[in-house]
Amino acid sequence: MKRLLNDGYDAVEELLDGYVKAHGDVVKLADNERVVVRTTLSPQPKVGIIFGGGSGHEPLFLGYVGEGVADAAVIGNVNTSPDPIACYDAVTAVDQGKGCLYLYGNYQGDVLNFDMGAEMAADDGITVETVLITDDVYSAKDRADRRGVAGDVIVLMAACAVANTGADLATVKAAAEKANDNTYSMGVALSSSTLPVTGKPIFDIGPDDMEVGMGIHGEPGIERKKLEPADAVMDEILGIVLPDMNLQSGERVAVMINGLGGLPLMDQYICYRRVHDVLTEKGVTIAKSMVGNYATSMDMIGMGVTLVRLDDELEGWLNAPFDAPYLKQG
């Protein structure tokens, strides 16, 4: 696989430099240059929403900082947690006196470092709460042990919609928890991603193989087998996700087809077509659709399906106005 880089060791700094130069009307780097913040915070004090994790998943994290969306994103090295100082510095950069909420996927390094950031903020008298995102169905049987994948974006949308109403920290946290509890994801990888420093893939996979259930960092999936047609792959994913969420006829859902970086939009819409038809046949209404690259793994060829069980409240949050470089609606 080929990449257009300079020195791989400089890739994250050059990414951030290029990003804020391209979107300087919306975002800037904080004093800590691993923290991307809004150029202007909300004129009305609100709970600060801080999103974060390793780089390599763009537009995830930095692409969702903007008006009505995240106030800051904390960026680590490729597939690596942000350091605790950056997590803390994000709080001091965006706190408006109503506390802050950390949102990030459930990975051990992230938990440790964001927790240390919250402890440092507490020493300054700033309250920070956390919601771990745990949408990856295959990664663990128990919801609390699951890792976060594209559901990160769903949880962010819900939390931001409520924060923008001026709600207090407990209410915003409850909204994020509700979104997380109703979000279910599973993916398939057809290739590895390529590490900037080494120029080599994270793992080896045959040209005619796929791995169902693989995580966005290359975590092992259910099984590796020969590549199948799109409809068969979607049927396999839905055959696991639908029983896990116990989705019933008459319910409403949001559907996200998330590309992992190297899968063409053509393929993504072919996958969406099958998901739509299966859900419709089961009597499930699709109230919101999202197709595109929301949480990637650099150049990995692959995709994921995310389903969100909706009620009127959650549907309203997901349709709120957002204006970030990679999340615009309303």
Is 57 known to be catalytic?
yes
E strands, the chain, where? 27-29, 35-38, 48-55, 72-78, 100-105, 128-133, 183-189, 209-212, 223-226, 252-259, 285-292, 302-310, 322-324, 327-329
Choose the catalytic residue: 23, 217, 274, 309: 217
Question: Exactly one of 23, 46, 57, 274 is catalytic; which is it?
Answer: 57
CA–CA dist 48, 212 (Å, integer)? 36
262 φ/ψ angles, rounded to the nearest 5 degrees: -115, 0
Going by DSSP bridges, is the β-strand pair 327-329/322-324 parallel, antiparallel, or unpaired? antiparallel
CA atoms within 13 A on the CB side of 104: 30
- Would you call 23 a catalytic residue per the annotation? no
**Spatial separation of the C-alpha atoms in residues 330 and 328, rounded to whole Å:** 7
| CA distance linking residue 169 with residue 172, whole number of Å | 5
Indicate which residues carry an active-site annotation. 57, 217
